[in-house]
Chains A and B, each alone.
Chain A
Amino acid sequence: MKAEGKSVLFVEDSPTMRRIIANSLKKIGFSEIIEAEDGVDALAKIDGRLVDLVVTDWNMPEMNGAELVEELRGRPEFDDIPIVMITTRGMKDDVMTAMKLGVNAYVIKPFTPDILQQKLDAVF
């Protein structure tokens, strides 16, 4: 996967987790990381522009990760953009729901940098 020159929309409500994942994405080599606190904030931050990848948490206030994915997948310009869900929700039903909504990879917290790298390699 070549992250250089690529942008990622990264959505996470926990400041601690946001910092950890943002650091991981920087180390992977993304040129631009657009950080958002929840789905509503994410939609406001992208404001019609395109990104190369979306990484999102599930449990968030306002608009959660599943709702965000549904919203993005409803937009033709986001049809082929890979979406990675990073969440504590580890029930099979959750994973199935995410898949049906159009999530390309699903990472359970806590994760290691290697796991994140593997998942990104698989979808990006």
Chain B
Amino acid sequence: MDKKAGTVLKTLREIESLFEFGGEIAPFLEELFTFLTDLMPILARANQSLTSTTESIPTATDNIASADMMAENAANTIMDNADQITTALDDLLSKTDGETKEALEEVALKINEINMALQYQDITSQHLKMATQIVEAIQVRMQKLFQGLQTIGESNEAIRKLIESYSEEMENQKPTEFEDTIRNSADAISQDEIDALFGK
């Protein structure tokens, strides 16, 4: 009997200790829950923002590549014209002398300087390519982060519902200036397409 009473007392002490531990941990759990509740809207917003931004990156990099190509074509046009001027100048130089020749030689030097200045087209192009590579690397990481957020949502019904409700709320909000910029650049159309819309 004494032995049984001892066991009961021991068990009661254990239960008491458990309650004491529960009492100590309760404020922490409450704080953790508050933190998670505060965090959810941020995660939901990040989730949505990441999706739209990540989807826009290929368009942005394509636009950069397109601008780069246009700059290269423009540089080639300038060089074509400079070459024609140089040929004409060489012809004139062979037929003239004195002050006129000196003046023409000065013009030839200036034409050469224009050609050399076009090196910046290639240098800018290389910088753009490096920036594009960085953006593409960020895109890959953002996609992984985005997938991670989805996994969190899928693993917990309450979190999933919370994310969905905030996502719906976000959809009803006006887009930010940044999102507008991305959307506008993605939706840009050519002059030919504009003319076609006007029926010209």
A-B residue pair count with CB separations less than 8 angstroms: 40
| B161 to A: closest C-beta gap in Å | 49
Q: Are A113 and B116 in contact (CB under 8 A)?
A: yes
Please classify the interface of chain B as helix (H, G, I), strand (E, B), loop, or mixed, using the class held by over half of its residues. helix
Q: Are B79 and A16 in contact (CB under 8 A)?
A: yes
B117 surroundings in chain A (CB, below 8 A):
110
Size bracket of the B interface: 10 to 19
A15 at interface, CB cutoff 8 A: yes
Size bracket of the A interface: 10 to 19
B123 surroundings in chain A (CB, below 8 A):
88, 109-110
B126 at interface, CB cutoff 8 A: yes
Residue from A20, A88, A111, A112 in contact with B118 in the complex, judged by beta carbons closer than 8 Å: A20
A104 at interface, CB cutoff 8 A: no
Contact with B along A108-123 (1 / 0, CB 8 A): 0111110000000000
Find the B residue at minimum CB distance from A19: B79
A14 at interface, CB cutoff 8 A: yes
Find the A residue at minimum CB distance from B80: A19
Q: Are B112 and A113 in contact (CB under 8 A)?
A: yes
Q: Are A15 and B72 in contact (CB under 8 A)?
A: yes
Give the A-binding residues of B (Cβ under 8 A): 72, 75-76, 79, 112, 115-123, 125-126
Give the B-binding residues of A (Cβ under 8 A): 14-17, 19-20, 23, 59, 88, 109-113
Sampled A-B contacts (12; CB under 8 Å): A15-B72, A15-B76, A16-B121, A19-B76, A19-B79, A20-B79, A20-B116, A20-B118, A109-B122, A110-B117, A110-B120, A113-B116
